[in-house]
């Protein structure tokens, strides 16, 4: 868990560092050989962080301490069905979404902290077996998709920084202040 949170921190901090450097650097200033070398190393390190370190830390956390294995059928809810808030050894309060032995969280069947413990059924027309390892892999895929989106957005922002937005030409106005659409 600590490794995953540290990887998230590194990802956010390095993204913010690139953004702040891009805002500070003058547009059109020629780049020196040393700046290009340091920039290349920084971008390579950034790609290692967001495409290797972050997903690996997620998968290590999921398969390690959370124990999301392929034999655990259903979607693990973690603390979402039962929250126990304590500071140190002092118990503050407990929120239990499944009071009185109910087996449903709104419309989702829940048993022992797992949503859809017997798979997702489609009104008697089939069943989709979902296990915890699949959910962990989906989480890694989401990390990759978000990282790729942030990467492309950063490239576009870097290339377009300093460019003025295209303005629409002002239409001539009539004596009453309304824009003229036809030539008179």
Distance between CA atoms of residues 72 and 75, nearest Å: 8
pLDDT digit string, tens, across residues 122-165: 777 777 888 889 999 999 999 999 999 999 999 999 888 888 77
Encoding tokens for residue 119? 């798979």
- How far apart CA 116 and CA 79 sit, in angstroms, is 16
Distance CA 35, CA 19 (A): 16
- Which phi-psi region, left, alpha or beta, contains residue 50 (left: φ > 0; alpha: ψ -120 to 50)? alpha
104 against 39, higher pLDDT: 39
pTM score of the predicted model:
0.72
pLDDT of residue 18: 92
Residue 176: pLDDT band (50, 70, 90) is: confident
Q: Which residue has the tokens 């296990």?
A: 131
């Amino acid at each position: 868990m600590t490794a995953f949170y540290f990887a998230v921190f590194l990802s956010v901090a390095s993204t913010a560092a690139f953004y702040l450097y891009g805002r500070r650097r003058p547009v059109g200033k020629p780049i020196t050989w040393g700046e290009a070398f340091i920039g290349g190393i920084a971008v390579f390190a950034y790609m290692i962080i967001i495409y290797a370190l972050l997903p690996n830390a997620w998968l290590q956390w999921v398969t390690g301490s959370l124990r999301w294995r392929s034999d655990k059928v259903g979607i693990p809810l973690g603390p979402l069905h039962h929250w126990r808030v304590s500071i140190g050894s002092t118990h503050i309060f407990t929120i239990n979404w499944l009071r009185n032995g109910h087996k449903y969280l709104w419309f989702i069947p829940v048993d022992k902290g797992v949503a859809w413990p017997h798979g997702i059924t489609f009104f008697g027309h089939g069943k989709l077996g979902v296990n915890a390892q699949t959910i962990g892999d989906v989480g890694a895929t989401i990390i990759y998709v978000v990282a790729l989106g942030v990467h492309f957005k950063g490239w576009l922002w870097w290339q377009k920084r300093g460019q003025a937005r295209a303005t629409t030409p002002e239409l001539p106005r009539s004596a009453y202040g309304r824009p003229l659409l036809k030539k008179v």
